[in-house]
Amino acid sequence: MHRTSRFLRVAIGAAAIGIIGGMTACTSDSNDPGAKTGAGGAQGGAGGIAVGTGTGGTTGTGGATTANTVCAGSVKIAAANPGIADFDAWDGVSDINKWSAPLGGNTTSGVYDGPFGYGDRASGFPETFEMTTGHASTYALRIADTLAMNYGGGMGTWLSACLNATAFQGISFWVRGNSPMSKATLTMFMQETLPSAPVKTTDPIGTCPGATASCIHPSFPFNVTDTWTQIQVPWASFTPGNAAGTPVTPDGRNITQIQFGVALIWGPDASNTYVPMPAPYELVIDTLTFY
C-alpha cells in the first residue's frame, strides 16, 4: 500500500493520553504515558495523522496559527455516512497492528483508519490485543490483561485525516468487558488539545500553546459490564478538554483520534504511599460510529 508514504505515522508513546482523565489522584498513575502527554499517537498502524500542508486556516485556541496544523485540511463527514469503524472488514489473518480500512467502510471520504493498542507490559502493548467476536457482527476490537501492574491499558483508532463531524450529535459504540473501577474512558483527540510544539517531530501539530502536560483532550467516562451495551455520547456530555488553561468543548470539529482506556485503582500501601493495585481487565469495542 502507498498509504504509509502518504500519511505521517505517529509515535507509539503518545498514544496513551486521557486514560484516566478526570479521576482523582488516588486513581491516577504518573507512570502512565497517557497521564503525561496530550500528543496524538498510533501504535503500529499502517498510517497515522496526516499533517496539513494547506496555506489557509484560522487562529486556534491559544492563538496558534492553524496553517500547518493537523486540521489545516480537515475532511467533512457527510450525514449519510456516520460509520467510523466496525472491524468487519478485517480478513481474519492480517496483523491488526498494520491493518487499515476506509473510514466506516466508505471510500468516498478518502479517509482511512486502523486500530492501535497500548498497555503497561514491558512491550508497551496490553497482554492481549486482538479481534474477537463482535456485537451482532463478525469482529470487535479487544484488549485484556490477566494482571495489569502499572496503569492499565487502552486502544482506539487512528485517523488518516482530521475529521469535521459537525453533521452529527456525538459518538456511539458498543462495549463489554470488566474494569477495576467498573468504568472506562473515551478520549477524543482534537487539534485544539494537541501541542503546537510537539516533543517529537513526527507527532501531529495542534494549536494548544502549552507543553504536553497542559494540553488535555476531552473525555467521557462510561460504565463497563460483561453484557454488550450501547453507549451514545453527545458532544456536550464530554468533559471539556484544556488548552493550557482554555476550556475546549467538543462540537464535532477537528477530531484527530478516538481512544478508549482502562485504569487501575490506586491506593496506599503499607508505608502509606499510593501505588497501583494490580488487577485484570478486559475491554471490547464494536460498531464505532457518529450519530
* pLDDT classification of 58: cutoffs 50, 70, 90: very low
Q: Please check the confidence at residue 163 and state whether its pLDDT lies above 70.
A: yes
pLDDT digits 0-9 by tens, 202-221: 899 999 997 788 999 999 99
pLDDT digits 0-9 by tens, 68-88: 899 999 999 999 999 999 999
**Picking from 50-64, 186-200, 245-259, which range would have the lowest pLDDT averaged per residue?**
50-64
| Residue at 283: amino acid letter | L
* pLDDT classification of 66: cutoffs 50, 70, 90: low
Res 28: pLDDT:
38
SS3 53: coil
**Picking from 16-30, 137-151, 238-252, which range would have the lowest pLDDT averaged per residue?**
16-30
Please, what is the Cα angle at 46 between 42 and 201, to 5 degrees?
A: 50
Mean pLDDT along residues 261-266: 97
End-to-end C-alpha distance for the chain, whole angstroms: 31
Res 65: pLDDT:
52
Res 6: pLDDT:
31
* pTM for this prediction: 0.81
pLDDT digits 0-9 by tens, 235-262: 999 999 999 999 999 999 999 999 999 9
The set of cell numbers assigned to 113 is 483508519
* pLDDT classification of 200: cutoffs 50, 70, 90: confident
| DSSP H or E stretch at residue 3 | helix 3-6
Beta bridge partners of 219: 187, 239
* pLDDT classification of 67: cutoffs 50, 70, 90: low
Tell the burial category of 52 from Cβ atoms under 10 Å away from its Cβ (0-12, 13-18, 19+).
buried
- Look at the alpha carbons of 121, 15, 96, 47 in this order and tell me if their dihedral is positive or negative: negative
- Look at the alpha carbons of 85, 184, 12, 250 in this order and tell me if their dihedral is positive or negative: positive
Res 68: pLDDT:
85
pLDDT digits 0-9 by tens, 29-38: 444 454 333 3
* pLDDT classification of 108: cutoffs 50, 70, 90: very high
Mean pLDDT along residues 156-166: 98
